[in-house]
Amino acid sequence: MRNNFDKNVIQGISNSNEFKGWLLSRRWFMSKAALSNLEFDVLLDYFEIIAGRIFLTIINVKAPEYSKTYFVPLINYEKIEEILEPNETTRSNIVKLTENTFSKKLAMTIENEQKIITLNLLEAEFCLFFWKKLLFDTSISERFPTFDLELTLYNNQFEDQVNMKKVQNLIEAALYPDRYELSIEQLGGGNTTNMLFSLTIINKRVLNQKPISYVLKSYKDYSLSLEPSTLFVLVKNKFPNTPKIFGTIKIQGKETIGILENVSNLGNLGDIYWNELNNMIKTTFKEVDRDYSKFSEKSNVSLLIKEKCIETLKVSGEIGNYINNLHQSLIFPEKEEYKLESVDSKVFLKDYTERLNLIISGLLTNMNAQPESAFFNLPKISSILIDIKDVIERFRTEFEESKIEIQPVHQDLHMEQILFNNVDGQYSYCFIDFEGDPQLSLEEKKGRFPVEKDLASFLRALSYIKFNTLLNYIKNKIIQKDKFEVPEEILYNLFFRRAMKPIKKVLDIVFSVLNIWESKLIGKILKNLNLNYVLITYFYIERALHELNYEILFRPDKTLVPILGLKEIVDKS
């Protein structure tokens, strides 16, 4: 039955409303709001059938004044069990795969007879079958040139035996597949822009040998990726705090699959900040009508933070130096795009001011296009964006340095991009996802920036955690269960309409504690770093504007958090 599916059939299906709706449901599919009316075309830019049932597909999504290309490998099945290995046939996995399947009834002529069949398509990365065929089936890899595919394994960049062995292990598993047992597990809970899986390889013939795990990364945005070359530079510079890259698969010269080191970790850095802060607020301010006036004294708040946020204080005192070491290791003079350069500050800030003003104008236009009843159309909200323009201009004109140093940076360094581990009380950190700022075009991602861009992005996470913790407290302690109350509305009243409705005094105390928490951590993170406050604020504003745009498009009820971040900048200025 599968032999009846070719490029023309799949092309027709790709333009159906059912398939477009399925695309919109994918986490990696961008511009959901702009394309939600389904008025776009899906073109197959590349299509090859591998192993009879794997459709290697590059799709181009086109609409008026819009075009984006994705890597979308699909696997076709009649019964889901036929594409699964024995270790994949758990009930939970079958349910997950079935829920993620695109299904469509088709009327087809087969052997001169009209038949109704069901086409089931699943993102191929979910199945071990896909990875085994693509990475370890020599009968297929030998034909890669005919498919315009290229598999590259980096075994000459490593000087240590451990990582050389990991690359050799991949080669041996392809040469002698019967000797190895494989398993995969999705990473990130599916809440990642690209699809991530851990691949574990066990040599069945060597007793007591520890399994070796890798991260398989499917780059959904089909464009030249910065990550493989950046990770290569970090390996060359012997930077120990990023995953090593062991290989890539390219389609028509562009990376679609990355094979990376699987780094042991206990979670991302945001887990520490969020958990300790929420525990501190929850356990300290249990009763909303109690007298908490002692926390009006900064010294008492400092003692509270010291007692309740032990791990947060520790990692904050360390992470700034790790980020500094990362920036030093991203400089590689042998490659033009990895050089350190000094540029004229007036020219740089003039261009960046124009960029930020364009973002603000776009936000105001987008907000005005929404219904008047939308929360973010309130006059006090739009006035903040207008005030931010004035703040940006004042910073530009008052900047005193004649030169600004620019270099390659992470570009998207929030807390979820830093994994941590803890062995015998000692923390280690790993920086991940070097694909550049998702808000930038490919050419802009290739650009260089002041290191303050990364620090501003990291510090924005503190503001996000602070205000979401306050929202969490309002939800659990302040709103009345017998009334229909929205935490975001109470938070809005706290900052914009205090006279309209009596608000419990405990909120003022809690917010004061949160501010001291944030200020103390900023001091620890930036300690001993020679950074420019104006540049940090510039990029902090940019990050908050991007967050606001994202929330308006995807989570309108959460727009208040970046708005309050911008309001704080206006108030301080």
Domains and CATH numbers, the chain: 2-123 (no CATH), 128-261 (no CATH), 269-572 (3.90.1200.10)
Amino acid symbol at 87: N
Angle at which helices 452-473 and 269-284 cross, to 10°? 30
Per-residue model confidence (pLDDT) at position 156: 64
Per-residue model confidence (pLDDT) at position 340: 96
CA-only gyration radius of the chain, Å: 26
pTM confidence score: 0.86
153 bridge partner residues: 247
Amino acid symbol at 10: I
Per-residue model confidence (pLDDT) at position 3: 60
Per-residue model confidence (pLDDT) at position 2: 54
* DSSP conformation class of 209: P
Per-residue model confidence (pLDDT) at position 183: 92
Amino acid symbol at 54: I
Phi–psi pair at 47, nearest 5 degrees: -155, 120
* DSSP conformation class of 43: E
Contact of 437 with 412, CB cutoff 8 Å: yes
Per-residue model confidence (pLDDT) at position 375: 63
Residues 6+ apart with CB under 8 A from 311: 272, 276
Residues of the chain with pLDDT under 50: none
Contact of 264 with 420, CB cutoff 8 Å: no
Closest CA to 46 of 25, 73, 26: 73
Per-residue model confidence (pLDDT) at position 173: 84
Per-residue model confidence (pLDDT) at position 157: 67
Cα gap 339→447, rounded to integer Å = 11
CA distances from 9 to 13, 16, 75, 288, 506 (A): 6, 11, 15, 63, 63
